[in-house]
Amino acid sequence: MLLRSGRSRSSRRWRCSRRWRCSHRLTAPTPRLVVVGFAALSGFVIMPQLTPGKLGHAVPVKFTIREYLLPHQNPPAYSHDPAVAKDGSVYFADQQASYIGRLDPETGAVKEYPTPTPGSGPHGIIVAPNGEVWYTGNAKGLIGRLDPATGHITEFKTGDAGARTGAWDPHTPLLLGDKLWFTAQNSNKYGMLDSKTGEVKLYDSPVPRSKPYGLQRAPDGTLWMALFGTNKLGHLDPATGHLETVDVADPAARPRRLAITSDGRIWYTDYDRGYLGMYDPRTSTAKEWKTPSRTEQQNSNPYGIGVAPDGAIWYNEARQGNMVRFDPKTGASLVVPIPTRGSVIRNVSVDSTRGRLWIAESGVSRLGRIDLR
């Protein structure tokens, strides 16, 4: 159902600083570039066969991390999810201020597109092959489509947040052809929006209180879903809308976000337990690895996850403010601290063309970029 539409605003505010690990030093404003953090960070490699006393040695591998300050104020910018466009620009959903932002990584310019519905709480975001930007209005039961050429946003209703009916909290979007599939966590539903007609079709999760969350496309064209309220993954046939569920490694596991490698294996962050997990549909087996910073006393709360062009799995440890590079071939983990402490990486977006991993740093008004090569 078509809801309403709106247009854009733009702003430029520049500040520059340099960071090495946790150090912080501000420099004079830079007139054209808004890189606010820049660091070449060594990591700490964790090999699965080593004992704790042998862990944590510095390695020569370095990744350049840049941070971009987002200018929005009242409330401060709160990037939730990022999405990379073909030209390398990065769109992001600001959940608190309810706008879609576009960052130019070369100049630091940020353009804002306020959502037509105030307080819509943009959450998930993707960029379609034709350049259109789709997002979920998590707080108001809607899905929005931004045309960057005109700045026009069209909204489609998926549910009623006030009455808590339908898909009242759409979460993660995924475009498959002209059909936009999405999850709705607390509604315990998933759905499909026909981008040509605006028709919305909803499906109930077969598992009560399963909290459909992360959503990804497999190489065979089917979709996989994280059922965050359970220890299950959902396997969705987009031709029929039918969802089958499979159990992962541990009954206490709670998969939150997903990434799928080219061999079809499903990788997930187990947020509640502090593990990285993998399910292989070919063998119907699951395996898991404890995240580097998890201890008996403290969880690491892994959250956002993505696959780099070299096949490595990148995910974050939300509690410690780290990114982790996991090598599926060796099982080795490389811990890369995020320069600005206190950020929570809720999702990541991989720019395979330019070898960049984009991270939305919720809570510190920044987007981050890790140069992978």
Residue 279 belongs to a domain with what CATH number? 2.130.10.10
- Looking at the predicted structure, is the pLDDT value of residue 13 above 70? no
- Looking at the predicted structure, is the pLDDT value of residue 259 above 70? yes
Who wins on pLDDT, 89 or 40? Answer: 89
pLDDT at 60: 45
| pLDDT, averaged across the chain | 88
The residues with which 314 forms a beta bridge, in sequence order, are: 306, 325
Helix (H) or strand (E) run with residue 368 in it:
strand 366-371
Distance of alpha carbon 159 from its chain centroid, rounded? 23
- Looking at the predicted structure, is the pLDDT value of residue 52 above 60? no
Distance of alpha carbon 151 from its chain centroid, rounded? 23
pLDDT at 63: 82
**% of the chain with per-residue pLDDT over 90:** 82
Q: Which domain holds residue 286?
A: 2-371
Tokens of 158: 């998926």
Name the domain count of the chain: 1
| Residue 245 buriedness (CB in 10 A; 0-12 / 13-18 / 19+) | middle
- Looking at the predicted structure, is the pLDDT value of residue 232 above 50? yes
Tokens of 50: 């080593």
What is the maximum alpha-carbon separation in the chain?
60
- pLDDT tens digits along 110-139: 999 999 999 999 999 999 999 999 999 999
Strands (E), 122-280: 122-127, 133-137, 142-147, 152-157, 159-160, 165-166, 170-176, 179-184, 189-194, 200-204, 212-217, 223-227, 232-237, 242-247, 255-260, 266-270, 275-280
- pLDDT tens digits along 195-223: 999 999 999 999 999 999 999 999 999 99
Give the predicted TM-score (pTM) of the model: 0.87
The residues with which 366 forms a beta bridge, in sequence order, are: 69, 361
The residue with tokens 């947040």 is 161
Cα(338)–Cα(177) distance, integer angstroms:
36
Cα(100)–Cα(143) distance, integer angstroms:
12
